[in-house]
Amino acid sequence: MPENPNLARDHLANERTFLAWVRTGVAIVVFGFAIGRFTIAIRQLTVLQGKDVGGSGWSVWFGLIAILAGVALSVGGLIRYRMVRTQLDQGRFEAAGAIVDLVAVFTALFGLALGGYLMYIEKIF
């Protein structure tokens, strides 16, 4: 098999893609932490005002789910990066399959769940 003249470019593109996975994972982790921390801060403010604290509802759970999803996304990006690196070194490449669908579906479901939760706590319907 002849040497690929674009091999360095392909590897650099793979690294950029991996860094995008990591940036997205970090953003989701920070978002999850903010959700959880905001809920805790509101609960503490309510206690300082002398009001009854009914609990944090689902907000802390949504925050934890987001944190775990961000970690999973970063690990998934690392696995994908290493797979593509091996494929490039072997002179073959297979496009991502189900992982892209899985990330898109999970993101959509999480967004719908957050939107539903907001409608529930604000008693919109």
How far is Cα 92 from Cα 76, in angstroms, rounded to an integer?
A: 20
- Asked, for residue 27, whether it belongs to a domain, the answer is yes
**Residue 111 covered by a domain:** yes
List pLDDT tens digits, range 39-92.
777 777 777 777 776 666 678 888 899 999 999 999 999 999 999 999 999 988
Contact 29, 9 (CB under 8 A): no
Q: Which domain holds residue 17?
A: 7-121
Instruction: With cut-offs at 50, 70 and 90, classify the pLDDT of residue 20.
Output: very high
Residue 38 resides in a domain: yes
CA-based torsion, 78, 109, 111, 101: positive or negative: positive
* Number of domains composing the chain: 1
pTM, to two decimals: 0.74
- Which contacts qualify for 1-8: CB closer than 8 Å, 24 or more apart? 1/91, 4/88, 4/91, 7/88
User: Quick check: is 56 in a domain?
Assistant: yes
Q: Does residue 2 lie within any of the structural domains?
A: no
Q: pLDDT value at position 38?
A: 81
Question: Would residue 112 count as lying in a domain?
Answer: yes
Q: Where are the beta strands (DSSP E) in 1-125?
A: none
